Structure 1
């Protein structure tokens, strides 16, 4: 997949320097340095936000064009960019959506590389690999929070991946047995789960307790 969109990165920069306050306000509040992959756009964005913090307002295009602290490559990008800035909040939201997908893609690819490097080691432990995966997926989330989600090594992994990226909890049923829920995420909703144990091992008791816990949890 593509991990860079210079066009939208440039439009985001020009829109930050534009005159539409609703657009500049939305972009300034939402964009982060890791939304920019090209070193020139990242440099310009970082400089814009540093100046805004000091001046208590976003600088204009003319100010940035003559900013001697910007590299010549960054100023040249400002001079030669022919992309029109966003004029509406809807346009700005579309730019943000594209840049966020690019950011997520870069994080996921970086996480993949880290996992592959880890598993090449002779003493590699799959548990460590899953920890790296989980940390990477949490970083890729659209809206990061303190909420965590353990990823199991079995059936709920793909669902957990999608849930992390969509900011939704996976469609699972908590059993009320916290160690199991923390490691496996609960029971998959709509699926068939089999409890296996020797005779008298507590299968029926556990099944009833899971049903009671699920009912109480709503």
Structure 2
């Protein structure tokens, strides 16, 4: 049934260091790192959701504190990744998800996150947490006509920083993906739906992932350029 719901949640979370995070010690000694402690999260969320025949949507406002956040880093001349606790950090923002049927043949999906991630303590106070873009938007349009469907997805990601001190900036980027598929059963008793997809149609050059606090300036890992893939979705009625 169509309807609207409002919600509020208050919660905590506990995350202990993994074996991988514990085993590497910056001092080079063996055994687990005794200085690495768990991180604790405390947060509140307020929001609402709408479920209808034409439109479905979720909207959430959140505010979270993290005590002892685990941050990766590397040493000069050493390619290994170590971990430390960064004191207290805070993060707050908005998340939006929307799915709507604009016409019988045209559907839209939208997902957006806008947030601020900040250190709260030590000399890094008010610096942005590294490796976390504060803006992320994905917009998908899907058009269906008979057995064929065409889907385009645009993704926009804001800039971020690669180090705690915010001296190394990573530019944001926009990408476009296009997929063409056939929505018709090709085998009796099975729905076999082929598709072809072109990723990064505009052949954008951008940083796909960031090595946070990397040693020797090796922060950036490039993303793939334009690529084409073919696939089949197989299911039973």
Instruction: Provide the TM-score with structure 1 as the length reference.
Output: 0.23
Q: Which has the higher contact order (CA 8 A, sep 6+)?
A: 1
- The structure richer in helix per residue is 1
Please report the TM-score for the alignment, with normalisation by the length of structure 2: 0.21
Structure with the largest fraction of strand: 2
